[in-house]
C-alpha cells in the first residue's frame, strides 16, 4: 500500500488523476485502484500491489515454475541465462512466496517442548503455564504439538533428567527457563548439536546458541524500584534491600536487581538514604528479621528482590511495626491482597504469562509462516499499585 500526498489546490482532480496514472503505468507491481480526496488540502491515492505467484514469474521469464523455484531457493541446476532473467524479475517485483501455500505444502507437525520449574513448588510459575495454555488454545487447529515439562526449582538433577528425556523425544524446538546457569548451558549445547532450536525466557543465559530470549532487564527493574522507593520514603531514613529466596539458584537475579537499586541511589546528587542489604535465612526468616529490626530502628523502606514480599509483610505485621513501605516483585495472590490493603506500596510485574506466550508464538509462527524471531525481547517493567492491578490480571 502506498499513499501519496498532493496539494489539492494545485491541480484539478481530473488532471491529477491522469498524471498519476501515467506515472504508475510503468510500475508493473502497482495496480492503480482508486482515488480518494479528503482532509484539508491532502489528496490520498490508493494503489494496490498485485500479489505475484511463481506462475506469473515463470510466464514473464518464459521458463517453468520449477526453474523459478530452483532460483528462489538457490538449488542450482539453472542456466546462467535463466538465472539472470528470473532474479531480475524477482527483484523488480520484490517477490515474497505465499507463506500459507508453503506451510500447506510442508504439512509437518512441529513439536515444541516447554521446560519450566514446577509451579506447585514455586507459584511464581503458575502464570507461565497459563501462557502456554493460551498459545496451545490459539494454535490448536494448526500443525503444532506443545508439550510441557516441569523440573524441581531447586533440583539440578531433575533439570538434567527432564532435558535428557526431551532430547530423546527429538522435538523441533525447546522453550526453556534456564534457572541453573551451568546445567542450562550444557543442555542447550546438547539440543543444538541435535539440531533442536532453543529459545529461553525469564532468565538470560550468556550463550549465542539460543535463537531468542524473552524476559526483563533485571538491573533496570532494580532502578525502577529504587526510583519508586525514592518517591515514597522521606529523606534520612534507612532503606533495606531484602533477599528472600527459597533456593540459591536465583542469586544472580537478586544481585542484578540490587545493583540497579544501589546504582540509582548512588547516582543522586546528595544521597540522603542509608542503604543496607539483608539476606533472610529461609530456614528462620522471623528470627533474622526481628533481630535486624531491633538493631535498626531507622529502616523505613524494604525492597524485596524476589516474589516473597508477602513473607516479609506477614512477619512485620506480627511485630506491629510503624508505617513501613514495601516494594516487591510479582503478582502472586498473597502479594496482591497485601497491595490492595496498602501493606505493599508497589509490585513490579515481570509478565511471566506474556513471557511464555510470546516465546511460544515466536517459535510457532516461525515454523508455520517463516516469521522472524526477535533475538531479544525485553518486556516493559510494569509498575503495579492497588488501582491498576486489576488491569494486569
Partner DNA sequence: TTGAAAGCGCTAACAC
Partner DNA sequence: GTGTTAGCGCTTTCAA
Q: What are residue 238's DSSP bridge partners?
A: 274, 299
- Best CA proximity match to 233, nearest among 369, 168, 314, 324: 324
CA atoms of 288 and 278, how far apart (whole Å): 9
- The DSSP symbol for 143 reads S
Beta strands at 346-349 and 382-384: parallel, antiparallel or unpaired: antiparallel
- Identify whether the C-beta of residue 229 lies closer than 8 Å to the C-beta of residue 275: no
Within residues 108-167, the interface with a second copy by CB under 8 A covers 109, 118, 136, 138, 140-143, 145-152, 155, 158, 161-162, 165-166
d(CA 340, CA 345) in angstroms, rounded, equals 9
Contact map string, positions 48 to 87, toward DNA, x by CB under 7 A? ---x-xxx------xxxxxx-xx-xx--xxxx-xxx----
Q: Cα-flanking dihedrals φ and ψ of residue 86, to 5°?
A: -70, -45
Residues pairing with 145 in the sheet: 111
H helix intervals, the chain: 13-25, 54-61, 65-72, 80-93, 99-106, 126-138, 156-169, 181-193, 218-232, 251-266, 285-295, 309-318, 333-340, 352-369
Contacted by 20, from DNA, a second copy, none: CB < 5 to 8 Å by type: none
Only segment of 42-50, 105-113, 117-125, 156-164 that touches DNA (CB under 7 A):
105-113
Question: Out of 42, 83, 252, 276, which residue is the one contacting a second copy (CB under 8 A)?
Answer: 42
Asked if 108 touches DNA (CB under 7 A), the answer is: no
**Residue whose grid cell is 524500584:** 225
CB distance 273 to 237 below 8 Å: yes
Q: Does 314 bind DNA (CB under 7 A)?
A: no
Q: Which of 134, 220, 247, 279 binds a second copy (CB under 8 A)?
A: 220
Pairing of strands 197-201, 173-176: parallel
Among 23, 104, 194, 248, binds a second copy (CB under 8 A): 104
Least distance (Å) between residue 138 CB and DNA: 18
The answer to whether residue 217 forms part of the interface with a second copy (CB under 8 A) is yes
329 binds a second copy (CB under 8 A): no
- CA-to-CA separations, 37 to 11, 12, 17, 43, in angstroms, rounded: 13, 12, 11, 5
CB of 173 to DNA, least distance (A): 19
Residue 337: which of a second copy, DNA, none does it interact with, CB under 5 to 8 A by kind? Answer: none
Interaction pattern, residues 11-50, with DNA; x per rule: CB under 7 A: ----------------------------------------
- The answer to whether residue 271 forms part of the interface with DNA (CB under 7 A) is no
Q: Which is nearer to a second copy, 78 or 116 (CB)?
A: 116
Of residues 44 through 73, those in contact with a second copy by CB under 8 A are 44, 46, 48-49, 51
| Residue 142 contact, options DNA, a second copy, none, Cβ 5-8 Å cut-off depending on partner type | a second copy
**In angstroms, what is the minimal distance from the CB of 227 to a second copy?**
4
CA angle 19, 24, 28 (to 5 degrees): 160
C-alpha cell at 230: 525514592
Q: Do 92 and 152 contact (CB within 8 A), yes or no?
A: no
Task: Choose the one of a second copy, DNA, none that binds residue 10, judging by a C-beta under 5 to 8 angstroms depending on kind.
Answer: none
Q: Cβ 27 to DNA, closest distance in Å?
A: 20
State the binding partner of 65 from DNA, a second copy, none, CB within 5 to 8 A by kind.
DNA
Instruction: Work out the widest C-alpha separation in the chain, in whole angstroms.
Output: 88
Interface positions, 229-268, toward a second copy (CB under 8 A): 231-232, 264
Which 8-state DSSP code applies to residue 374? Answer: P
**Exactly one of 105, 182, 269, 322 binds DNA (CB under 7 A); which one?**
105
Binding part of the chain for a second copy, among 60-68, 215-223, 250-258, 279-287 by CB under 8 A, reads 215-223
Q: How far is the CB of 300 from a second copy (least distance, A)?
A: 14
Binding stretches for DNA (CB under 7 A)? 51, 53-55, 62-67, 69-70, 72-73, 76-79, 81-83, 97-98, 101-102, 104-107
Amino acid at each position: 500500500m502506498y499513499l501519496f500526498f498532493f496539494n489539492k489546490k494545485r491541480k484539478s482532480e481530473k488532471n491529477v488523476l491522469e498524471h498519476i496514472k501515467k506515472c504508475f503505468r510503468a510500475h508493473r507491481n502497482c495496480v492503480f485502484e482508486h482515488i480518494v480526496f479528503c482532509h484539508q488540502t491532502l489528496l490520498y491515492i490508493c494503489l494496490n500491489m498485485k500479489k505475484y505467484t511463481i506462475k506469473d514469474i515463470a510466464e514473464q521469464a518464459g521458463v517453468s515454475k520449477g526453474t523459478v523455484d530452483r532460483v528462489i531457493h538457490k538449488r542450482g541446476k539453472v542456466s546462467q541465462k535463466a538465472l539472470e532473467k528470473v532474479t531480475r524479475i524477482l527483484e523488480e517485483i520484490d517477490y515474497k512466496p505465499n507463506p500459507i501455500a508453503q506451510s500447506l505444502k510442508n504439512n509437518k507437525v512441529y513439536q515444541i517442548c516447554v521446560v519450566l520449574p514446577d509451579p506447585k513448588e514455586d507459584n511464581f510459575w503458575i502464570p507461565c503455564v497459563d501462557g502456554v495454555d493460551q498459545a496451545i488454545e490459539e494454535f490448536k487447529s494448526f500443525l503444532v504439538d506443545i508439550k510441557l515439562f516441569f523440573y524441581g526449582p531447586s533440583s539440578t538433577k531433575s533439570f538434567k533428567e527432564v532435558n535428557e528425556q526431551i532430547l530423546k523425544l527429538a522435538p523441533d524446538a525447546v522453550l526453556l527457563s534456564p534457572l541453573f546457569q551451568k546445567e542450562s548451558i550444557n543442555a542447550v549445547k546438547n539440543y543444538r548439536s541435535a539440531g533442536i532450536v532453543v529459545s529461553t525466557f525469564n532468565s538470560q543465559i550468556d550463550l549465542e546458541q539460543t535463537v531468542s530470549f524473552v524476559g526483563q532487564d533485571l538491573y533496570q527493574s532494580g532502578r525502577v524500584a529504587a526510583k519508586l522507593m525514592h518517591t515514597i520514603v522521606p529523606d534520612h531514613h534507612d532503606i533495606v534491600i531484602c533477599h528472600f529466596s527459597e533456593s540459591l539458584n536465583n542469586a544472580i537475579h537478586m544481585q542484578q536487581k540490587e545493583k540497579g537499586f544501589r546504582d540509582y541511589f548512588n547516582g543522586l546528587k546528595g544521597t540522603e538514604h542509608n542503604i543496607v542489604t539483608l539476606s533472610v535465612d529461609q530456614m528462620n526468616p522471623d528470627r533474622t528479621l526481628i533481630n535486624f529490626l531491633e538493631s535498626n530502628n531507622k529502616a523505613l523502606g524494604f525492597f524485596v528482590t524476589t516474589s516473597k514480599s508477602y513473607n516479609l509483610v506477614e512477619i512485620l505485621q506480627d511485630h506491629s511495626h510503624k508505617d513501613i513501605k514495601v516494594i516487591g516483585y510479582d503478582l502472586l495472590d498473597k502479594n496482591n491482597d497485601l497491595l490492595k490493603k496498602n501493606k505493599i506500596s508497589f509490585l513490579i510485574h515481570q509478565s511471566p504469562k506474556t513471557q511464555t506466550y510470546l516465546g511460544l508464538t515466536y517459535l510457532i509462527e516461525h515454523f508455520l509462516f517463516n516469521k522472524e524471531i526477535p533475538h531479544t525481547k525485553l518486556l516493559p517493567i510494569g509498575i503495579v499499585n492497588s488501582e491498576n492491578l486489576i488491569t494486569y490480571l
